[in-house]
């Protein structure tokens, strides 16, 4: 039965924060295959945010992706499943313990073909992105190129189409959003996929349970 008071820190629960959406569905499927599933969590109609597997003492939370590393860093969740893009952007202090392989995509600099020259010339270009920290690190620390970073919250491909920026830094999965908007990958920053992360204190305090869970998940990944 669902606990009524989730503020109460009940020691026997091992809590797992999942990034809402497609990654959560894939993560729940992985936990099911590992024998640690949770009823009701993939039910699209529910507005519930916390789901318990009483038998195993597992408590799953659904959180916005950028908040998953925050829950894990502060210990409100012992573990989390979230994309590498979010981990890089949020820069939280936690252990990244497993590459789960799913949710694979790339972080890229994209734009119209003619923007290639501006990248090559190291011109002072504008870069629109949902990932300002990743973009800053790439341009300032890796490429040593001065750029203006413009933070957006979504549909970033729009920015070069309407003259807000010359290029974007964004996730490319199938490439269809770029193609349909006449844009292309100009430079690849890094590969991305879903990662399992663990709170640093939980890793010690709940070592045996976490190790067993990691083994079961590894087994289910094959
Ligand atoms: C993501 C990303 C790209 C698109 C890439 O956007 O920001 O826009 O998916 O996928 P593709 O290469 O398969 O086309 P998302 O759907 O998360 O929405 P958003 O643009 O509002 O962030």
* Residue boundaries of the structural domains of the chain: 2-103+193-221, 105-191
Percent residues over pLDDT 70 in the chain: 95
pLDDT one-digit tens code per residue, 141-150: 999 999 999 9
Closest atom of ligand 1 to 170 CA is 7
CA of 50 to the centre of ligand 1 (A): 27
Per-residue pLDDT of 156-209, as tens digits, reads 999 999 999 999 999 999 999 999 999 999 999 999 999 999 999 999 999 999
Dist. CA 82 → ligand 1 center (Å) = 16
Closest CA to ligand 1's atom 3? 171
Rounded to the nearest angstrom, the gap between the alpha carbon of residue 49 and the centroid of all alpha carbons in its chain is 18
Mean pLDDT for the stretch of residues 20-31: 92
- Cα of 113 from ligand 1 centre, angstroms: 20
pLDDT for the residue numbered 43:
78
Q: Residues near 164 by Cβ (< 8 Å), separated by ≥ 6?
A: 126, 128, 150, 158
pLDDT at 3: 46
Residues 99-112, mean pLDDT to the nearest whole number: 97
The answer to whether the pTM exceeds 0.75 is: yes
- Name the DSSP letter for residue 141: I
Q: What is the Cα–Cα distance from 52 to 57, expressed in whole angstroms?
A: 7
Question: Of all atoms in ligand 1, which is nearest to the CA of residue 157?
Answer: 8
Residue 14 DSSP SS3: strand
pLDDT at 155 over 90: yes
Q: Which CATH number fits domain 105-191: 3.40.190.10, 3.40.50.300, 3.40.640.10, 3.30.70.20?
A: 3.40.190.10
Tell me the C-alpha distance between 133 and 173, whole Å. Answer: 20
Helix%, strand%, coil% for the chain, nearest 5: 35, 30, 35
CA of 108 to the centre of ligand 1 (A): 12
Strands (E), 76-199: 79-83, 95-99, 105-111, 125-129, 147-151, 167-172, 184-192, 194-198
What's the confidence (pLDDT) of residue 2? 46
What pLDDT score does 187 carry?
97
Is the C-alpha dihedral spanning 159, 171, 151, 76 positive or negative? positive
Give pLDDT tens digits for 194-212: 999 999 999 999 999 999 9
Q: How far is the CA of 170 from the centre of ligand 1 (A)?
A: 8
Give the mutation target among 82, 172, 177 for probing the ligand 1 site: most ligand atoms within 8 A of CB: 177
Indicate the average pLDDT of the chain: 93
Backbone phi, psi, residue 171, to 5°? -80, 135
Q: What is the architecture of the domain spanning 2-103+193-221?
A: 3-Layer(aba) Sandwich (3.40)
- pLDDT score recorded for residue 83: 97
Q: What residue's CA is closest to ligand 1, atom 2? A: 171
Whether 2-103+193-221 and 105-191 share one fold: the answer is yes
Torsion of CA 90, 92, 98, 101, to 10 degrees: 0
Pocket of ligand 1 (CB under 6 A): 154-157, 170-177
Cα of 169 vs centre of ligand 1, distance in Å, is 11
- 11 pLDDT tier (thresholds 50, 70, 90): low
Sequence-ordered list of residues with C-beta below 8 angstroms from that of 32, at least 6 positions apart, any chain: 38
Model confidence over 41-94: pLDDT tens digits?
Answer: 877 778 889 999 999 999 999 999 999 999 999 999 999 999 999 999 999 999
- Give the per-residue pLDDT at 195: 98
**CA distance from start to end of the chain:** 32
């Amino acid at each position: 039965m669902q606990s009524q008071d989730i503020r109460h820190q009940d020691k026997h629960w091992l809590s797992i924060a999942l990034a809402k959406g497609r990654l959560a569905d894939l993560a729940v499927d992985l936990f099911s295959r590992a024998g640690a599933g949770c009823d009701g969590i993939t039910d699209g109609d529910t507005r519930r945010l916390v789901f318990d597997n009483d038998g195993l003492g597992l408590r799953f939370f659904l959180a916005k992706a950028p908040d998953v590393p925050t829950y894990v860093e502060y210990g409100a969740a012992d573990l989390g499943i979230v994309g590498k893009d979010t981990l890089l952007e949020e820069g939280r202090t936690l252990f990244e313990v497993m590459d789960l392989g799913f949710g694979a995509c790339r972080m890229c600099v994209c734009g119209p073909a003619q923007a290639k020259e501006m990248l090559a010339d190291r011109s002072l270009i504008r870069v629109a992105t949902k990932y300002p920290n990743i973009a800053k690190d790439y341009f300032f620390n890796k490429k040593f190129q001065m750029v203006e970073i413009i933070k957006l919250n979504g549909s970033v491909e729009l920015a070069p189409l309407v003259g807000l920026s010359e290029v974007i830094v964004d996730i490319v999965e199938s490439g269809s959003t770029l193609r349909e908007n006449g844009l292309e990958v100009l430079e690849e920053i890094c590969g991305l996929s879903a990662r399992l992360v663990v709170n640093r204190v939980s890793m010690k305090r709940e070592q045996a349970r976490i190790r067993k869970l990691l083994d079961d998940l590894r087994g289910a990944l094959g």
